[in-house]
């Protein structure tokens, strides 16, 4: 499988990475100073550095997703991942498998990564300054978690259909 840098693949990392970067500014004055400096002195290199930091933050969030959210989604998803789906891949089913990954599993990754980074931001803001709108951020985090589990369940269901 070749690596393609698609817009959606970038968003899976960049959007949660930006939220995680914002959460990092709450915890660390050095991160806050760095991002403030980069955002107030517009230049190509500053923009590239902010994107690189957000992408790196998104990669960390994606790694945490594999440990935390995949486990939760495995428990709460209506449709479970088939045990032997990789054994049944062949030339006939490979195109369908790739389509399922692109259309369902990537939505799950985006929702789960956005949930984790939003939860980190919510936790950071709650500890730092409780007057933030906790209801709004909490509802957003809950909606993203629900979307994550639903997307994972849909991905699992689609894989079971491919294997029949």
pLDDT(1) > 50: no
pLDDT tens for 22-79 read 888 888 888 888 888 877 877 888 778 888 888 898 999 998 888 888 887 777 777 6
pLDDT on residue 73: 77
Angle between helices 29-40 and 7-27 (to 10 degrees): 120
- Contact, 76 vs 147, CB < 8 A? no
Within a domain: 42:
yes
Rounded Cα distance, 91 and 3, in Å:
19
Within a domain: 138:
yes
Within a domain: 2:
no
Based on the structure, what is the number of domains in the chain? 1
Within a domain: 109:
yes
pLDDT on residue 81: 67
- Domain that includes residue 51, residue range: 7-163
Rounded Cα distance, 134 and 113, in Å:
20
Rounded Cα distance, 164 and 74, in Å:
21
Within a domain: 98:
yes
Within a domain: 159:
yes
């Amino acid at each position: 499988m070749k690596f393609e840098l698609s817009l959606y693949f970038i968003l899976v990392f960049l959007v949660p990475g930006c939220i995680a970067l914002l959460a990092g500014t709450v915890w660390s004055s050095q991160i806050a100073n760095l991002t403030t400096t980069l955002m107030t002195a517009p230049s190509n290199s500053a923009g590239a550095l902010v994107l690189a930091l957000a992408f790196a933050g998104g990669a960390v969030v994606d790694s945490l997703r594999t440990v935390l959210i995949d486990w939760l989604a495995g428990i709460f998803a209506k449709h479970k991942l088939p045990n032997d789906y990789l054994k049944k891949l062949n030339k006939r089913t490979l195109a369908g498998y790739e389509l399922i990954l692109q259309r369902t599993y990537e939505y799950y990754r985006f929702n789960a990564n956005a949930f984790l980074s939003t939860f980190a931001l919510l936790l950071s803001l709650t500890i730092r300054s409780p007057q933030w709108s906790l209801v709004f951020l909490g509802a957003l985090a809950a909606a993203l978690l629900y979307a994550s589990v639903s997307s994972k369940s849909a991905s699992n269901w689609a894989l079971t259909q491919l294997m029949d």
